[in-house]
Amino acid sequence: MKIRNAALAGVLILGLAGCDRPAPQETQRERDQKSDEQMRQAGRTAYNAAQKAEEAAKELSRQVERAGKEAREGWDQAKRDRERDQKKP
């Protein structure tokens, strides 16, 4: 029993010692390179989002234009119908 406890304590101490060891630090250059790549990726993502927003705005503009045309046609049709009804006594 004492041997088992000693072995368990030894494994526990080795495990804690392994966790306590400081991780190798990156150099400033490596951090800068990672940061630069992240910024490039953010720029690409922003560009793609801007392109999609532009396409969506163009499509919305076309839809508004079509809706305006339909409204004008409906207005003109109602005007013709009213004029025709007024001429019929």
Please report the pLDDT score of residue 45 as a whole number: 95
Q: Which two tokens stand for residue 3?
A: 């041997």
Model pLDDT, residue 38: 93
Q: Give me 7's structure tokens.
A: 């072995």
Question: Is 67's pLDDT higher than 90?
Answer: yes
Residue 34 CB partners (closer than 8 Å, separation 6+)? 26
pLDDT at 85 over 60: yes
Average pLDDT, the chain: 85
